[in-house]
Protein backbone atom coordinates (compact mmCIF):
# COMPACT_ATOMS: atom_id res chain seq x y z
CA UNK A 1 0.00 0.00 0.00
CA UNK A 2 1.42 3.38 -0.96
CA UNK A 3 1.57 6.25 1.52
CA UNK A 4 -1.35 8.15 0.02
CA UNK A 5 -3.58 5.08 0.22
CA UNK A 6 -2.54 4.50 3.83
CA UNK A 7 -3.31 8.14 4.64
CA UNK A 8 -6.72 7.77 2.99
CA UNK A 9 -7.48 4.68 5.11
CA UNK A 10 -6.46 6.47 8.30
CA UNK A 11 -8.57 9.50 7.41
CA UNK A 12 -11.62 7.30 6.80
CA UNK A 13 -11.16 5.54 10.14
CA UNK A 14 -10.79 8.89 11.91
CA UNK A 15 -14.03 10.18 10.40
CA UNK A 16 -15.83 7.02 11.46
CA UNK A 17 -14.54 7.39 15.02
CA UNK A 18 -15.61 11.06 15.12
CA UNK A 19 -19.10 10.03 13.99
CA UNK A 20 -19.21 7.21 16.54
CA UNK A 21 -18.62 9.62 19.42
CA UNK A 22 -20.89 12.32 18.02
CA UNK A 23 -18.25 14.85 17.02
CA UNK A 24 -18.64 14.64 13.24
CA UNK A 25 -20.54 17.95 13.04
CA UNK A 26 -17.63 19.96 14.49
CA UNK A 27 -15.49 22.11 12.23
CA UNK A 28 -11.78 21.35 11.99
CA UNK A 29 -11.00 24.34 14.21
CA UNK A 30 -13.57 23.28 16.82
CA UNK A 31 -12.16 19.75 16.83
CA UNK A 32 -8.60 21.04 17.24
CA UNK A 33 -9.57 23.33 20.13
CA UNK A 34 -11.57 20.60 21.88
CA UNK A 35 -8.79 18.04 21.53
CA UNK A 36 -6.18 20.58 22.65
CA UNK A 37 -8.25 21.38 25.75
CA UNK A 38 -8.66 17.70 26.51
CA UNK A 39 -4.96 17.07 25.98
CA UNK A 40 -3.80 19.64 28.52
CA UNK A 41 -6.11 18.41 31.26
CA UNK A 42 -4.72 15.76 33.55
CA UNK A 43 -8.05 14.31 34.60
CA UNK A 44 -11.77 14.64 33.98
CA UNK A 45 -13.14 17.89 35.41
CA UNK A 46 -9.79 19.66 35.64
CA UNK A 47 -9.83 23.39 34.83
CA UNK A 48 -7.90 24.50 31.74
CA UNK A 49 -7.13 28.09 30.78
CA UNK A 50 -7.69 29.65 27.40
CA UNK A 51 -3.96 30.33 27.21
CA UNK A 52 -3.09 26.65 27.81
CA UNK A 53 -5.42 25.64 24.99
CA UNK A 54 -4.11 28.38 22.70
CA UNK A 55 -0.47 27.31 23.20
CA UNK A 56 -1.14 23.66 22.32
CA UNK A 57 0.21 22.52 18.94
CA UNK A 58 -3.30 21.76 17.67
CA UNK A 59 -4.56 25.30 18.35
CA UNK A 60 -1.46 27.45 18.04
CA UNK A 61 -1.69 27.72 14.25
CA UNK A 62 -5.26 28.95 14.24
CA UNK A 63 -5.94 32.61 13.53
CA UNK A 64 -6.94 34.48 16.67
CA UNK A 65 -10.50 35.11 15.45
CA UNK A 66 -10.92 31.47 14.38
CA UNK A 67 -9.66 30.25 17.74
CA UNK A 68 -12.08 32.43 19.71
CA UNK A 69 -14.99 31.57 17.41
CA UNK A 70 -14.28 27.85 17.92
CA UNK A 71 -13.97 28.32 21.68
CA UNK A 72 -17.31 30.17 21.86
CA UNK A 73 -18.96 27.53 19.70
CA UNK A 74 -17.72 24.70 21.95
CA UNK A 75 -19.06 26.51 25.00
CA UNK A 76 -22.37 27.01 23.19
CA UNK A 77 -22.51 23.31 22.33
CA UNK A 78 -21.77 22.42 25.94
CA UNK A 79 -18.55 20.54 25.12
CA UNK A 80 -16.58 23.15 27.06
CA UNK A 81 -18.02 24.76 30.14
CA UNK A 82 -16.93 27.94 31.89
CA UNK A 83 -15.23 26.91 35.11
CA UNK A 84 -16.92 27.89 38.35
CA UNK A 85 -15.09 30.33 40.57
CA UNK A 86 -13.43 32.18 37.67
CA UNK A 87 -14.64 35.28 35.86
CA UNK A 88 -13.31 34.33 32.42
CA UNK A 89 -10.87 32.26 30.37
CA UNK A 90 -11.10 29.10 32.47
CA UNK A 91 -12.90 26.04 31.14
CA UNK A 92 -13.75 22.44 31.91
CA UNK A 93 -13.92 19.84 29.15
CA UNK A 94 -17.26 18.05 29.21
CA UNK A 95 -15.95 14.68 28.04
CA UNK A 96 -18.97 13.06 29.70
CA UNK A 97 -21.12 14.50 26.90
CA UNK A 98 -19.17 12.63 24.24
CA UNK A 99 -20.53 9.17 23.48
CA UNK A 100 -18.42 6.35 24.87
pTM of the model: 0.88
**In the chain, what are the domain boundaries?**
26-97
Domain at 26-97, CATH class: mainly alpha
Consecutive sets of 10 residues in the chain, 100 residues long: mean pLDDT of each? 94 93 93 94 88 96 97 95 90 75
Q: What is the pLDDT of residue 21?
A: 87
Q: What is the pLDDT of residue 98?
A: 62
Q: What is the pLDDT of residue 30?
A: 97
Q: What is the pLDDT of residue 88?
A: 87
Q: What is the pLDDT of residue 97?
A: 67
**Euclidean distance between CA atoms 28 and 40, whole angstroms:** 18
Amino acid sequence: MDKLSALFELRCMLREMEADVGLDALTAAEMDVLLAAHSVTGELGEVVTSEQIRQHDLASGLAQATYHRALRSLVGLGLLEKARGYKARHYVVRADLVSQ
